[in-house]
Amino acid sequence: MTDPGTDEAHQRRFDAMITAEERIEPRDWMPDAYRRTLIRQIAQHAHSEIIGMQPEGNWITRAPSLRRKAVLIAKVQDEAGHGLYLYSAAETLGVGRDELLDLLHQGRQRYSSIFNYPTVTWADVGAIGWLVDGAAITNQVPLCRCSYGPYARAMVRICKEESFHQRQGFDILYTLARGTDAQRRMAQESVDRWYWPSLMMFGPPDSESTHSEQSMAWNIKRFSNDELRQRFVDMIVPQAEALGLTLPDPALKWSAERGHYDFGTPDWDEFMQVLKGNGPCNRQRLEHRRTAHEEGAWVREAARAHAAKSRARQRAAA
Amino acid sequence: MADQPLWEVFVRARRGLSHVHVGSLHAADAEHALRNARDLYTRRQEGVSVWVVPAASISASAPEDKDAFFDPAEDKVYRHPTFYPVPEGVEHL
Ligand SMILES: [Fe+2]
Ligand SMILES: [Fe+2]
């Protein structure tokens, strides 16, 4: 493996596969930096899925009807599943799941900043489904063609499930927007709260994005942050009209010349603050995750004890 | 999770189809792995049958010897029906 001649040949072969749009699979040789980038990205993505259960989980006991409650439970359970598909993909790169959880719990790996905002009303569950899951889909659809096979395959599963998430969110807002004045107001205020943070989900502007270029060259990333943000805005403007709600962006208008909507600039200082840990819920989210993990220790312990017991029983019977 | 080993999961989507690899999970034993696989990989009726296999039990060909390993098949085009010309007018061959 350390023979430079061999490494060069490996590198050539890897480059040729990337150029030919072939998928890289777990046991293939890959550059260390490619492996590290993928581990970082997939782990961050997995962490986002499981931390993302919290803002919505917060409303399960207070959902306004049994139907909404069943739907929300299914949605939150899906997010747990997404986390597990992604940890499974990360593990194919030679990193352990417990290692990744430790890094999350120690605050040494990130999750998406969007989940550091609170869900203060039921309408926020709608706005998260519509805008946050909507932004996630915009980000994730191109990842289905990512060069790393296990990641791409996980994304295919995830994207299929995300469309339900986006629709159920839209459905909540659509219902509220046609309800009483107070419900309508609640829906509008929620969209006003989540619009800008959802635009930030695509990351900093291309001019300041640090990882983008190399990730594009490796076919991990297919479109730039700004391209994806534009695509998202173009998608949600007509949807907001259908909802009968407005987006809190005075710069928003159709540009016939560009064939896209013009829109305003998110508050990148706020973004940096949340990223640094100073968002409204950063501490609470991580604290809750650690506690959940610690309080689940007895379940893992019980599973181990049960497995050991039945192994012993089988041996005795044999 | 060294004592909750890794299991590879295979799902048969419908009768008449083979089991296909869908991903992996951690579990203490096979029974636990099957239950987790059901919750994780068949939440939308994606399967009628699930296999779980300890990841450590799988032997795989090495990608490095891909060429050498699969070479023997490369020069045997006569294994494909298209290798043989069929005279004009001959059918069902
Ligand atoms: Fe998700
Ligand atoms: Fe989702």
pLDDT digits (tens, 9 = 90+) for A251-279: 999 999 999 999 999 999 999 999 999 99
Report the complex ipTM.
0.89
Residue in chain A nearest B44 by alpha carbon: A161
**Per-residue pLDDT tens digits for B24-66:** 999 999 999 999 999 999 999 999 999 999 999 999 988 766 6
Among A222, A230, A235, smallest CA distance to A205 is for A230
How big is the CA angle at A223 (ends A221 and A229), to the nearest 5 degrees? 120
How near does any CA of chain B get to the CA of A176, in Å? 28
Tokens at residue A77, please? Answer: 């359970």
Domain B6-61, what fold? Ubiquitin-like (UB roll) (3.10.20)
Strand positions, DSSP E, chain A: 253-255, 260-262
- Give the mean pLDDT of A234-258: 98
Q: State yes or no: pLDDT of A4 exceeds 70.
A: no
Q: pLDDT tens digits, residue range A110-152?
A: 999 999 999 999 999 999 999 999 999 999 999 999 999 999 9
pTM for the whole structure:
0.93
- What is the rounded distance in angstroms from the CA atom of residue B25 to the CA atom of residue A87? 9
Name chain A contacts of B25, Cβ cutoff 8 Å: 84, 88
Helix (H) or strand (E) holding A91: helix A66-91
Q: Which residues of B touch A17 (CB under 8 A)?
A: none
- Chains A, B: CB pairs < 8 Å: 51
Nearest to B62 among A27, A88, A98 (CB): A27
Residues of A in contact with B64 (CB under 8 A): 29
Q: How far is A150 from chain B (nearest CA, A)?
A: 8
Answer whether A127's CB lies under 8 Å from A72's CB.
Answer: no
Read out DSSP for A209-222?
Answer: -SSHHHHHHTTS--
A147 CA to centre of ligand 2 in angstroms: 23
Inter-residue contact A147 to A24 (CB < 8 Å): yes
pLDDT in tens, A60-69: 999 999 999 9
Neighbours of ion ligand 2 (CB under 5 A): A 133, 162, 165
